[in-house]
Amino acid sequence: MTEPFSFRLLTTDGTARHGEISTPRGTIATPAFMPVGTQATVKGLAPDAVRASGTEIVLANTYHLMLRPGAERIAALGGLHSFMNWPHAILTDSGGFQVMSLSALRRVEDEAVTFRSHLDGAMVELSPERAIEVQHLLGSDVAMQLDECLELPAPRHELVRAMRRSLAWAERSKRCFEKVPQGRALFGIIQGGDDMRLRMESAQALIDIGFHGYAVGGLAVGEPQEVMLRTVEELAPVLPAAQPRYLMGVGTPQDLVEAVARGIDMFDCVMPTRNARHGLAFTRFGPVNLKNARHADDPRPIDGQSSCPAARDYSRAYLHHLMKANEMLGAILLTSVNLAYYQELMAGIRSAILAGMFEDFRAATAEAWERGDARSS
């Protein structure tokens, strides 16, 4: 814990930003993509393989870890970094999103959320203060405030209520966070659904409270892509330039490029890892579904030019076979392929911003996706 959390904006290209986050666990070049390590593991990969993909920070889920194996247990074992053998930076969410999406029975009140654990049926309480405490026990480098997230579309009065409650929780989170040791960061979460006036009110109030970074929450929950991008586009100018901006739960490679174009610095998403387990590879030429029978005799690798051995050293025919045979190695190799592709994309984005050529990069990348991955003759 030598160096406190900080963010340096290094350069901009239009609205796109390239910067660097410093944490006690190392620096993170932005725009950054954070793979999701829900249960203290990025599914299917050992930490050295996650690191080899170019990953500098992972996200872990407070909800899952507080239920199993338990935050106090992880703390007693030396914290999450040691527990999962990942010495680099970790961002933890607050648990709020999973309470809404995973628990069949829950009661959201101003004081706290009470929910039934999806594991053993026990009733569990999660308050803004407990969310901070749990994240502190885990040893998170970047903590998130507890918020209330609604599915879209939602009636306006519901959006108002959830946004105001999230603001009240933001204040309580900040007060509680100020008691924890120096060197860690707390991000506020902008809510308000698809209502831009509510979004602006939320953002302004969070800025008044003051956080190390600002997240856009409550998106990628069913709304059209243009709603998401418009929300980001309108919010970015009001957010402090000197602090990182995190678009939660996003997204496809295209989402990432378009959100970076609108000023976002950080992302997390299960898409590269979850889709890998279903046989989908993300590539420079768009997505490739390895379960498709057309790959059964295809000797070509996913991408012979990739720096990722999994993309280079195995034929599509073999990956197809592994997926059809339900072999773990299929998911393992495709998870590597996808994380490497996501991180190569982010590295390409950063280089392009640095060179002042982000628009060219954006166009060339979109064109390659468009071209597709049809078998060469």
Active-site residues, by number, are 93, 268
Query: Least distance (Å) from its own copies to the CB of residue 26?
Result: 18
Q: Which stretch binds its own copies (CB under 8 A): 205-213, 232-240, 294-302, 341-349?
A: 294-302
Out of 91, 256, 333, 353, the only residue in the binding site for its own copies (CB under 8 A) is 333
Q: Is beta strand 123-126 parallel, antiparallel or unpaired with respect to 6-13?
A: unpaired
Query: Least distance (Å) from its own copies to the CB of residue 133?
Result: 20
Q: Which stretch binds its own copies (CB under 8 A): 166-174, 208-216, 219-227, 321-329?
A: 321-329
Query: Least distance (Å) from its own copies to the CB of residue 49?
Result: 9
Residue 167 binding its own copies, by CB under 8 A: no
Q: Identify which of residues 85 and 101 has a Cβ nearer to its own copies in the complex.
A: 85
Q: Which stretch binds its own copies (CB under 8 A): 3-11, 281-289, 322-330, 347-355?
A: 322-330
Out of 125, 151, 226, 313, the only residue in the binding site for its own copies (CB under 8 A) is 313
Q: Identify which of residues 44 and 96 has a Cβ nearer to its own copies in the complex.
A: 44
Nearest to 235 by CA among 15, 38, 9: 15
List all residues 6 or more positions away from 161 whose beta carbon is below 8 Å from its beta carbon: none
Q: What tokens does 54 get?
A: 């170019």
Q: How far apart are CA 348 and CA 291, in angstroms?
A: 28
Q: Identify which of residues 146 and 333 has a Cβ nearer to its own copies in the complex.
A: 333
Query: Least distance (Å) from its own copies to the CB of residue 272?
Result: 15
Query: Least distance (Å) from its own copies to the CB of residue 344?
Result: 20
Residue 254 binding its own copies, by CB under 8 A: no
**Cis peptide, bond prior to residue 4, ω within 30 of zero:** no
Out of 1, 105, 241, 328, the only residue in the binding site for its own copies (CB under 8 A) is 328
Number of shown-chain residues binding its own copies (CB under 8 A)? 38
Residues of this chain, 39-78, that bind its own copies according to CB under 8 A: 39-41, 43-46, 48, 68-69, 73, 76-78
Residue 196 binding its own copies, by CB under 8 A: no
Query: Residue 224: is it exposed, middle or buried by C-beta count within 10 angstroms (0-12/13-18/19+)?
Result: exposed
Residue 315 binding its own copies, by CB under 8 A: yes
Query: Least distance (Å) from its own copies to the CB of residue 319?
Result: 11
Q: Identify which of residues 109 and 313 has a Cβ nearer to its own copies in the complex.
A: 313
Query: Least distance (Å) from its own copies to the CB of residue 307?
Result: 15
Q: Identify which of residues 106 and 324 has a Cβ nearer to its own copies in the complex.
A: 324
Q: How far apart are CA 25 and CA 79, in angstroms?
A: 13
Residues of this chain, 85-124, that bind its own copies according to CB under 8 A: 85
Does residue 50 contact residue 339 with C-beta atoms inside 8 Å? yes
Q: Identify which of residues 37 and 263 has a Cβ nearer to its own copies in the complex.
A: 37
Residue 291 binding its own copies, by CB under 8 A: no
Q: Identify which of residues 45 and 352 has a Cβ nearer to its own copies in the complex.
A: 45
Applying CB under 8 A, the residues found at the interface with its own copies are 39-41, 43-46, 48, 68-69, 73, 76-78, 83-85, 296-297, 299, 309-310, 313-315, 317-318, 320-322, 324-325, 327-329, 331-333
